[in-house]
Structure 1
């Protein structure tokens, strides 16, 4: 029998090798955006499976490839977990046979994959629409499930009773460790990522030792007769409903547009006509702003007299190209009526429409655009339309459709993963990943970014235009006094640029929790409008 110190060394080596190998491959191919992920590969359940599934959901291009990758991942995960558990087993307790551990951990690999799959899919969806609340909704269930799943590899009826406090503490430390080491792995110079990932793996090995020991030596659990783990798994299904509801309670949250330019006349110093483009799910009842030089953009277009038509929330679900056509008509008619230069103010989806308009159909009179909460680095993943049975992310698309179908049974859902606005982000992803936050000749631009948007995309270069950053979440800045004052200053010609230091820190902290971006060059669906890929160049706004 090997000495305990030899077994401990073997545990640390086994935990360190996979992260170091993955980091080496990512650095070798210069996959910059994904370099915060390797520390997670040998983390304690469920984070290790969360790591595996995000790669698979992004990088498969057929049902066969998806099936092969899933089977391979489950078998390898069962084998790796068996080795980690066997080496971490406390010496004072008899260990089950390796065969028993292998059977148990392979079965649990299947079970944990089923638990984690919806949230890994949600993480990929978050990379499509670049919304921080969706990333949080995909990650929070992992945090809640972790203390319960960490017992699964070593104890019998692991689904019953509450986990011990040491398991809760070690699982929380595991989350912190993944976050910190992911940030460091991304931040260090190129090849330093490999040793950082290796050190992170060693720390994972220490956590395996502590969690296995805590599970094996734990006293009888409280509420041992209650199937707590299945109940918690059902409870976390409510997370996607709770997070957006909480965000709507925040000042400025929801879909309401609280722009001062819509409620009172423009200051005399403003010489522009202004169009305000609201975001996804917004509504407009036809009320005219008090200033005749200000208009709401209508997702239904203009009436016979040139006035923006009232619209409902479902009207915003149209494709970005359809909205661009409507905006082009509205800009033309507003400029003709006022004979003034035109400034655009876009929030969320409205910012995406306005920026796409500048790239495709800009009128010479439009010389200013203020974007509030634009979807920075959207379109980082892909899934084909429902009629296509091949293509990158084909299984991911169908899982999203099943999830939306299930949600609609509980609460009516007017939209889905294939509605035209979402498909616009998928189909024109190269433009939104490389050019959204780039200068436009003859146009002044500024982006008003709540600090939560720092977690919506992998860290790195994301803008070549001025930014005004302020604490908040998506869609909450336009109604704030300080942002409105700076907006008016911008329209009058003043320079606005106020980045915040914590924004870059938040970018790095989120590095471990992003889904890996799909390489632009690999997707045939993007060949018609291929752009340089920030995921590999580390830069935006690079020319073709």
Structure 2
């Protein structure tokens, strides 16, 4: 960012009595600016909240407080809306330019209103140029993470959402200096700047939860109060950036280094989550590597999740069989498969499961219970919806992808459609990161194409089938708050694909196979759902997308409920 020859901020002595009584001189100006700052930051979230309440858009009501947040949360707010709601390249480019420039202009006004009276302010033109350029630069930095937040809406994975949010959190203290300090790239932010930025994250998180849980039009004043708090934080951060007690590492280009760190940190999240004991390991122990109790009357098919592999090992109990993403050999035994085989479309996996259910039932003469984890849970549940069979009367789902398919992007051969630019940006991100599969692999496209079913029907009862879902608490952050299930759930601490108290879950799994009802809810689950409301990308309404015309479902984003019949 070029530096204009502007004088460094110089403290000036204001008229003390004017500040004291707020009736004349500098004191009146400061008072009016401060009030104007609070009015402006409070009004904008209220306007967005009014629109959402009028539309009945419940799932997005946690987002408005971010309209006037500190950098970069404000830009993160803008781009998430844009990445979900554009239908062509020219529309995306037009709105992107408008958003970035408008954000720079708006921030200039906030900086002017927040500027401390005892510091000489640079010219308005300098601040305008600085903040407009900054708006563009922040937009460029935030854009990939906003796109990843949309990907998190598609796959409903908490670690993907966390990966999109961490760079914002890490870089926020540094960006507060860029808007007002000439040599912004050098030196560490002060402790006060770090504290105010952290407080803004807390305010936005709590305000998002309150906006969601507050009924009806009461959401609007709650959003307004959150905006006023944003204004106070703008006042404090501008002051802290201009009047630091001492700048540490004053000659070190810390801000560019922090940006590199912010980009790198999300890359370590998947390996870290892999360290948590996974479902597949204990499923092997509980079901595959030891005989089931003799009281269990079912034959069992175990469907492991995305990225799993299978070497062809036979379970210890002849009543149990591993689902193969490659199918069966001529003798009816599941074929070994590699992790790449788990990327196939849901329709193909359901067809393979149907054949395996039929062969297992014929061989054992027993009814069949399905035990699915993550993708395997979705395959099993989709099978019950698409190919209902009285042979299957029991389903256990571990870490199902709750409320997947909340956003959309068209296939690569389409040049129009909701999220067209988002899809290409995700393809570029996956390509640069050298991540296998990518956003167009058949499994992901199944979630996109059949999104209405996975949003509204996944966690619903099936006539004649006993169902339970084991949910790690991390899934509470994977979908907007509200009703998400009408089947029994067993909530337990853990992350997606990893449940911490494995012995308890093993016991409850066997209890369920023996026909005993099980359920367990935890008080923190709905609380975590509400706290995540601010950071979800706004969902695309089912009615808005022509690609979903053949699978219309009531939209939980507006009804706040699931399992409503199609009308």
Which bin holds the TM-score, normalised by the shorter protein? Answer: over 0.9
8 Å Cα contact 1:252/1:480 also seen in 2? no
Task: Give the whole-Å Cα distance in 2 for the aligned partners of 1:267 and 1:421.
Answer: 35
Can you list the C-alpha shifts for 1:30-80, whole angstroms capped at 9, x where unaligned?
000000000111010000000000000000010011111111111221121
TM-score (norm 1): 0.98
| 1:534 Cα offset (Å) | 0.3
| 1:239 Cα offset (Å) | 2.4
Classify 1:260/1:478 alpha carbon distance in 2 versus 1 (closer, same or farther; 3 Å).
farther
Query: Which residue number in structure 2 is paired with residue 132 of structure 1?
Result: 158
Give aligned pairs, total: 540
Can you list the C-alpha shifts for 1:467-518, whole angstroms capped at 9, x where unaligned?
0000000011398111111111111111111111110000001010000001
8 Å Cα contact 1:148/1:163 also seen in 2? yes
| 1:221 Cα offset (Å) | 2.3
Pairing 1:428–2:450 present:
yes
8 Å Cα contact 2:43/2:224 also seen in 1? yes
8 Å Cα contact 1:253/1:476 also seen in 2? yes
Query: Which residue number in structure 1 is paired with residue 460 of structure 2?
Result: 438
8 Å Cα contact 1:331/1:363 also seen in 2? no
Query: Which residue number in structure 2 is paired with residue 333 of structure 1?
Result: 359
| 1:290 Cα offset (Å) | 0.7
TM-score (norm 2): 0.94
Pairing 1:73–2:95 present:
no
* Alignment root-mean-square deviation, CA: 1.3
Mapping 1:20-169, distance limit 5 Å = 20-169=46-195
Task: Give the whole-Å Cα distance in 2 for the aligned partners of 1:133 and 1:32.
Answer: 24
1:494 to 483, 496, 516: 516
Mapping 1:298-313, distance limit 5 Å = 298-313=324-339
Pairing 1:170–2:170 present:
no
| 1:255 Cα offset (Å) | 8.0
Query: Which residue number in structure 2 is paired with residue 371 of structure 1?
Result: 397
| 1:240 Cα offset (Å) | 2.9
Tell me the secondary structure at the aligned position of residue 302 of structure 2. strand
Task: Give the whole-Å Cα distance in 1 for the aligned partners of 2:124 and 2:36.
Answer: 16
Task: Give the whole-Å Cα distance in 1 for the aligned partners of 2:336 and 2:52.
Answer: 50
Task: Give the whole-Å Cα distance in 1 for the aligned partners of 2:485 and 2:142.
Answer: 33
8 Å Cα contact 2:82/2:95 also seen in 1? yes
Task: Give the whole-Å Cα distance in 2 for the aligned partners of 1:419 and 1:188.
Answer: 39
Can you list the C-alpha shifts for 1:347-382, whole angstroms capped at 9, x where unaligned?
000000000000001221100000000000000000
Q: After the TM superposition, list the runs of 4 or more consecutive aligned residues in structure 1 that deviate by more than 6 angstroms.
A: 253-256
Pairing 1:540–2:562 present:
yes
8 Å Cα contact 1:247/1:253 also seen in 2? no
Select between 156-165 and 391-400 the one with higher mean Cα deviation: 156-165
Classify 1:9/1:479 alpha carbon distance in 2 versus 1 (closer, same or farther; 3 Å).
closer
Task: Give the whole-Å Cα distance in 2 for the aligned partners of 1:255 and 1:263.
Answer: 10
8 Å Cα contact 1:15/1:205 also seen in 2? yes
Mapping 1:308-457, distance limit 5 Å = 308-408=334-434, 413-457=435-479
Can you list the C-alpha shifts for 1:283-341, whole angstroms capped at 9, x where unaligned?
00110011000000000000010000000000001001100000000000000111101
8 Å Cα contact 2:326/2:341 also seen in 1? yes
Mapping 1:9-28, distance limit 5 Å = 9-28=35-54
8 Å Cα contact 2:111/2:234 also seen in 1? yes
| 1:253 Cα offset (Å) | 6.7
| 1:257 Cα offset (Å) | 4.8
**Higher Cα radius of gyration:** 2
Query: Which residue number in structure 1 is paired with residue 507 of structure 2?
Result: 485
Select between 203-212 and 76-85 the one with higher mean Cα deviation: 76-85
8 Å Cα contact 1:32/1:537 also seen in 2? yes
Query: Which residue number in structure 2 is paired with residue 184 of structure 1?
Result: 210
Query: Which residue number in structure 2 is paired with residue 211 of structure 1?
Result: 237
Any gaps of 5 or more consecutive residues in structure 1?
Answer: none
Task: Give the whole-Å Cα distance in 1 for the aligned partners of 2:332 and 2:156.
Answer: 34
Query: Which residue number in structure 2 is paired with residue 224 of structure 1?
Result: 250
Tell me the secondary structure at the aligned position of residue 369 of structure 1. strand
